[in-house]
Amino acid sequence: MAIAIVPMTERDIPEAVECVQTTFAEDPYFLWLFDNTKYNIHRNAASLAAHFLYGLNCNSPMFVAKVPPSDKRSSTVVGVCWWFSPHPASKPVSWSVWAQDWMLSFRQLMYNVQFGGRGGLNMRRYLLWKSMQKQTHDAVWKDPRGYYFCNVIAVSAEMRGKGVGRKLVEVVTRQADREGIPCYLESSKGVPNMVIYQKLGFELVTEMDCVDGKDKCKLYCMVRQPQEKTGTLIAES
Ligand SMILES: CC(C)(COP(=O)(O)OP(=O)(O)OC[C@H]1O[C@@H](n2cnc3c(N)ncnc32)[C@H](O)[C@@H]1OP(=O)(O)O)[C@@H](O)C(=O)NCCC(=O)NCCS
């Protein structure tokens, strides 16, 4: 089947949201973060759409894997990836990113009013995760130029194991290699994702344990050093 990896546009957002929601429905991080008795899939879709719009407006590297339209499937988007571009730790965020941060907060506030809350998102856990993520980045991100950060990657279940994930990763790692910049990701699944990402050049650097009462969510933090065309490592931070 012909699969095209193309930059995400605003028109792709609804299908990209659906792809992410179905892919992560059973994900350990998602199950830890959301209270399933209060979960509102429409509120979650609105939040994901606002985040994708934020990423597009910040010129983040965002791609979708598309198949040609067919009677057999409702969506042409079978994979999504959203990366953050590297940003030197010493530099403040640009005014345009700062403005987008505020715009995202404003949209979320409006959705809180429209949907009567956050749709089951456990804010205490969200803030715990954010704080642990910051500590981890401070400890692990040693390259002063910053990292390409894979914020989201999802491939529809029926398309997994067919090279779509590799394409969605390589579209950015090729650029990272040309620039000599490392890449970083966090995965909530050790099996099979660690093996998958190792095949794509990533190595486990640390684990993040987000513990709230008796519920725990482990995130596997992996770094990929820039490589030459032959696959040789060219820089160790
Ligand atoms: C993780 C994910 C993005 C990978 O995408 P994918 O399309 O399945 O991956 P690919 O088919 O491109 O495989 C990439 C490599 O991993 C290997 N691989 C794929 N599935 C594997 C498995 N279950 N076990 C071992 N290796 C596997 C492939 O053989 C390939 O290596 P190769 O090119 O050297 O042969 C996808 O499986 C997914 O969306 N999973 C659910 C959501 C998720 O966990 N997202 C990531 C959160 S960080």
Chain segment 57-70, per-residue pLDDT in tens? 999 999 999 999 88
Beta bridge partners of 218: 209
Please report the pLDDT score of residue 50 as a whole number.
98
The atom of ligand 1 lying closest to the CA of 154 is 39
Give the chain's domain count.
1
Q: Is the CB of 155 under 6 A from ligand 1?
A: yes
Rounded mean pLDDT, 101-126 = 97
- pLDDT of 234 higher than 70: no
Residue 236 lies in a domain: no
Please report the pLDDT score of residue 236 as a whole number.
47
CA distances from 226 to 7, 9, 28, 59, 219 (A): 22, 28, 29, 22, 23
Residue 231 lies in a domain: no
Residue 230 lies in a domain: no
For ligand 1, the distance from its centroid to the CA atom of residue 78, given in whole angstroms, is: 14
The 10s digit of each residue's pLDDT in 117-132 is 999 999 999 999 999 9
Please report the pLDDT score of residue 69 as a whole number.
87
- State the residue range of the domain holding 116: 4-224
Q: Is the CB of 154 under 6 A from ligand 1?
A: yes
Please report the pLDDT score of residue 109 as a whole number.
98
Residue 98 lies in a domain: yes
Residue 149 lies in a domain: yes
Rounded mean pLDDT, 128-141 = 96
Q: 68: which 2 tokens?
A: 């040609």
Q: Is the CB of 164 under 6 A from ligand 1?
A: yes
Kindly report the pTM of this predicted structure: 0.94
Rounded mean pLDDT, 220-234 = 80
Q: What CATH number has the domain bearing residue 38? A: 3.40.630.30
Tell which residue, 109, 110, 100, has the closest CA to residue 53.
100
CA distances from 74 to 14, 116, 140, 163 (A): 12, 30, 41, 21
The 10s digit of each residue's pLDDT in 143-201 is 999 999 999 999 999 999 999 999 999 999 999 999 999 999 999 999 999 999 999 99
- pLDDT of 216 higher than 70: yes
Residue 46 lies in a domain: yes
Residue 146 lies in a domain: yes
Tell which residue, 191, 184, 181, 188, has the closest CA to residue 169.
184
Q: How confident is the model at residue 73 (pLDDT cuts 50, 70, 90)?
A: confident
For ligand 1, the distance from its centroid to the CA atom of residue 116, given in whole angstroms, is: 37
Residue 232 lies in a domain: no
